[in-house]
Amino acid sequence: MELVTRDFFLFLSKNNVMNRMAKNWGIGFVRGKMIGGNNFNESLVYIKKLNDQGMTATVDHLGEFVGSSEVARERAEEVIHTIETIARENVNAQVSLKMTSLGLDIDEKLVRENMTRILETAEKHQIMVTIDMEDEARCQKTLDIFKEFRLRYSNVSTVIQAYLYRSESDLDELNPLRPFLRLVKGAYKESPKVAFPDKSDVDQNYKTLIRKQLLSGNYTAIATHDDHMIAYAKQLAKDNQIPASQFEFQMLYGMRNATQQALVKDGYNVRVYVPYGDDWYGYFMRRLAERPANIAFAFKGMTKK
């Protein structure tokens, strides 16, 4: 049953018509709960609150279906504007972005131009830019772009997904670049040809990746809401004298707030992923796919006056 629900919401997440309807409908019921706001300025109040609670943020301008070079350039400008606002407002935040939003499906040269402009600005302000990982079909291209930019910039990072068979060897290949990496289980619907179909295998591989990345001495973002994975990482760090400064836990905005605060209290670094923008539909559907309990939350919000 859970699998059916997951597949259904992942299917919906790619629906263009629903995406347009959601944009018209507005962000009302998820603002300040799962999404920062329609724009970065609206999100600042929530980010400052996180900072006050001892947490940092990474912000993502939501946008799933970028169909023209003009829109991809506008997206890049938005990221640059966000980086400049982070610096001006002196909030403790980084940015996350998707290669498709910068034009990956249109023209790879365009992505490289957009990334160069973004990373130049981010470097000036010493702000990390993390390239989110999308579906498997785009994984190789995304890693190629990451590797290329990592050679030129220290403030770029990317994501490795535990559900992909390829991820352990990707980690090995990236290791000489001493990369900052965010480790996740993976959020897209993938074929068993490329991804572990069983959750237990994904969990096992997630542990393998955490171990490998932490023991290699590279900075590691452990992005999960799963208590077992959090406990595993803590124990591993303890057993191997890995300092808390070499890793951070990351969680999505609005998820497991009490756990986020408990980790801070125990002296761990916690970064919260704060998405913003009117293109919230695909992100929201993937969260419903992950956790059916979010469905109840959503309906409560929709019907609440």
Ligand X SMILES: Cc1cc2nc3c(=O)[nH]c(=O)nc-3n(C[C@H](O)[C@H](O)[C@H](O)COP(=O)(O)OP(=O)(O)OC[C@H]3O[C@@H](n4cnc5c(N)ncnc54)[C@H](O)[C@@H]3O)c2cc1C
State which H helix or E strand residue 7 sits in: helix 2-12
Q: Residue 92 has which token pair?
A: 């403790």
Residue (of 250, 264, 168) closest to 211 by Cα position:
168
Taking the complex as a whole, how short is the minimal distance between the CB of residue 24 and ligand X, in angstroms? 27
Could you say which of 43, 155, 218, 224 contacts ligand X (CB under 6 A)? Answer: 224
Taking the complex as a whole, how short is the minimal distance between the CB of residue 291 and ligand X, in angstroms? 5
- Per the annotation, the verdict on 132 as an active-site residue is yes
For the chain, helix, strand, coil in percent to 5 are 55, 15, 30
The residues with which 248 forms a beta bridge, in sequence order, are 221
161 binds ligand X (CB under 6 A): yes
Residue (of 184, 176, 155) closest to 218 by Cα position:
176
Q: Residue 238 has which token pair?
A: 């303890």
71 binds ligand X (CB under 6 A): no
Could you say which of 171, 187, 210, 288 contacts ligand X (CB under 6 A)? Answer: 187
100 binds ligand X (CB under 6 A): no
186 binds ligand X (CB under 6 A): yes
- Per the annotation, the verdict on 73 as an active-site residue is no
Number of CB atoms found within 10 A of residue 305's CB: 2
Could you say which of 120, 226, 265, 292 contacts ligand X (CB under 6 A)? Answer: 226
Question: Which amino acid makes up residue 243?
Answer: P
Residue 99 and residue 60 in contact, taking contact as beta carbons nearer than 8 Å: no
Could you say which of 250, 270, 274, 279 contacts ligand X (CB under 6 A)? Answer: 250
Taking the complex as a whole, how short is the minimal distance between the CB of residue 231 and ligand X, in angstroms? 11
Where do contacts with ligand X occur on this chain (CB under 6 A)? Answer: 132-133, 159, 161, 184-188, 223-226, 250-252, 255-256, 273, 290-291
By annotation, the residues acting in catalysis are: 132, 182
